[in-house]
Amino acid sequence: MKRFIAAVLGSLLLVSCGDDLTVEQQIIATLRDMEVAAEAGEHFEFMAYVAQEFEGQLGSMDRRAFHRFMIFQINQHRRLQAKFFPIHVREAGEGQATANFNLLVTGGGGLLPESGRVFAVETDWYRDGGDWQLTRADWEPVYLPDIPNVID
């Protein structure tokens, strides 16, 4: 609940600053709002940032399929957590931007995550009025080398 209140207050602050923020700061703030919504299980709030003409996974996923995917992820893990690192934003024209980042997603039913994976994500955005909308997202797992168990 504290994260949700902090996100709402942060969003209100960002809205009041509006155009004073750089494109990079605006996209990062939008990603953070999406993160908070997903972690809170608010799939409709999450999808508010996704454009009607959204395409994902190299065109194989439309907005409706992406929404179903998010509902499945939220329902599968009572505690869904996401962390972006690092986020690289580039303006791609008037009212357009791209953002590339790694995303660590963990989930489980208790306090400790039961599963987790890192993804490399590429996204496209367009500005609709004062808001940024996600128009494309492609992701693939990042395979990390096995880490030896030092306890054995």
Domain-embedded: residue 41:
yes
Domain that holds residue 104: 2-141
Name the band, by pLDDT with cuts 50, 70 and 90, for residue 146: low
Q: Which residue has the higher pLDDT, 20 or 96?
A: 96
Structural contact between residues 30 and 47, judged by C-beta atoms closer than 8 angstroms: no
CATH code where residue 53 lies: 3.10.450.50
Query: How does strand 96-107 pair with strand 115-128?
Result: antiparallel
pTM: 0.80
List pLDDT tens digits, range 102-124.
999 998 777 777 788 999 999 99
Domain-embedded: residue 124:
yes
Tell me the C-alpha distance between 79 and 34, whole Å. 15
- Kindly state the percentage of the chain with pLDDT values over 90: 67
Domain-embedded: residue 75:
yes
Domain-embedded: residue 17:
yes
Helix, strand, coil % over all residues of the chain, rounded to 5: 35, 40, 25
Residue 100 backbone class (left: φ over 0; alpha: ψ -120 to 50; beta: rest): beta
Name the band, by pLDDT with cuts 50, 70 and 90, for residue 149: low
Average pLDDT, the chain: 85
Residues 24-45, mean pLDDT to the nearest whole number: 96
Q: Where are the alpha helices (DSSP H) in the chain?
A: 2-17, 23-39, 43-47, 63-76
For 50-67, b/e burial (b = at least 16 CB within 10 A) is: bbeebbbeeeebebeebb
Query: What total number of domains does the chain contain?
Result: 1
What is the number of H-type helices and E-type strands within the chain?
Answer: 4, 6
Domain-embedded: residue 151:
no
Domain-embedded: residue 150:
no
Domain-embedded: residue 147:
no
